[in-house]
Amino acid sequence: MNENAPSVRRLGPVIGAEISGVDLTEPLDSKQISTLRQAFLDHSVIFFRGQNMTPEQQMRFAEYFGEPAAYPFVKGLDDFPMVTPILKLEDETVNFGGIWHSDTAYLPEPPMATILHAKELPESGGDTVFANMYAAYDALSDGMKEMLAHLRALNSAGNKRVSDTRQDRIRDSGKDATNMQTDSVHPVIRVHPETGRKALYVNIAHTVCFDGMTVEESAPILKFLFAHQTREEFTCRFRWSDGAVAIWDNRCAQHYPVNDYHGQRRLLHRITLKGDMPR
């Protein structure tokens, strides 16, 4: 049994913390799990270094936070179908999900969290940037908050901005998502079910328009929100290293994988955790 006490060090002013003093390849005790879950809620994304986990160990770690869920469009590992390879090959120029987004926000019940584990990394580049949607909401004017309070928005997997980023993987390891609902309407401002805090819940990858409005009518306000929610002061940047792990809260955070490592291979293993219907 792992008996180390986790240490939490803030990475950015409003989002992100790095955890040390814990070995994720070993089972964790209840106190450790409680500390990690609280850090996750407090910082929206937490990071670990040097955790050379097997897929089985990553699954065990994921289950401390929630129930793993399958990704709709790309097959998982043969023995661990809930573990999805996030891969960019040396001859590819587009990276998977290479745009600001909250994972699979087009589902009726989007995932509450995502876990990435670094397996193969480029010599340089390939960082991931995270943004705090609590902070983005809090920074809006009272008038904008009032206007958005009761709006809902259509989120779609077919939005070309993001669908183009998954084509390489669909070609070599795609699966049939014909019977899955991939268009959903969610509140523009959602209330986090655990913290009770309000977060801005639109993203440039999936959000198409406001419910009951046309794309053209919605565009000016959405353009403002997309730019506003990724302002530098709401973000932190994580530089991956061998065995590094990140787990973030899709209910109040967005992420952007930087595509600056052409000609190099990058592989991470991803697990998403089942969430609830945004409210």
pLDDT recorded at residue 168: 62
Please tell me the pTM assigned to this model.
0.94
Within a domain: residue 37?
yes
Domain span holding position 191: 7-273
CA-to-CA distance for 104 and 116, rounded, in angstroms?
15
Within a domain: residue 1?
no
Q: Which two tokens stand for residue 29?
A: 């005790």
Q: What is the mean pLDDT of residues 140-150?
A: 98
b/e code 226-236 from CB counts within 10 Å (16+ = b): eeebbeeebbb
Within a domain: residue 2?
no
Task: For residue range 56-101, list pLDDT tens digits in order.
Answer: 999 999 999 999 999 988 899 999 999 999 999 999 999 988 999 9
pLDDT recorded at residue 171: 73
For the annotated catalytic residues, the residue numbers are 101, 103, 255, 270
For residue 230, pLDDT over 70 is answered with yes
Within a domain: residue 67?
yes
CA-to-CA distance for 23 and 1, rounded, in angstroms?
10
Within a domain: residue 179?
yes
pLDDT recorded at residue 178: 66
How many other C-beta atoms are found inside a 10 Å radius of the C-beta of residue 26?
Answer: 14
Q: Which two tokens stand for residue 196?
A: 């009770």
Within a domain: residue 278?
no
Give which of 36, 30, 34 is closest to 1, Cα–Cα.
Answer: 30
pLDDT recorded at residue 259: 96
Please check whether residue 2 is in contact with residue 29, taking contact to mean a CB–CB distance below 8 angstroms.
yes
Residue 174 belongs to domain with CATH number: 3.60.130.10
Give which of 73, 269, 70 is closest to 168, Cα–Cα.
Answer: 73
Task: For residue range 175-212, list pLDDT tens digits in order.
Answer: 566 667 889 999 999 999 999 999 999 999 999 999 99
For residue 276, pLDDT over 80 is answered with yes
Please check whether residue 17 is in contact with residue 6, taking contact to mean a CB–CB distance below 8 angstroms.
no
Amino acid found at 114: T
pLDDT recorded at residue 88: 96
State the number of CA atoms in the 13 A half-sphere of 230 facing the CB: 20
**What's the N-to-C CA distance of the chain in angstroms?**
39
How many structural domains compose the chain? 1
Q: Give, for 129, the enclosing helix (H) or strand (E).
A: strand 128-132
CA-to-CA distance for 70 and 134, rounded, in angstroms?
27
CA-to-CA distance for 205 and 3, rounded, in angstroms?
41
Task: For residue range 156-170, list pLDDT tens digits in order.
Answer: 997 777 776 777 666
Please check whether residue 100 is in contact with residue 206, taking contact to mean a CB–CB distance below 8 angstroms.
no
pLDDT recorded at residue 123: 97
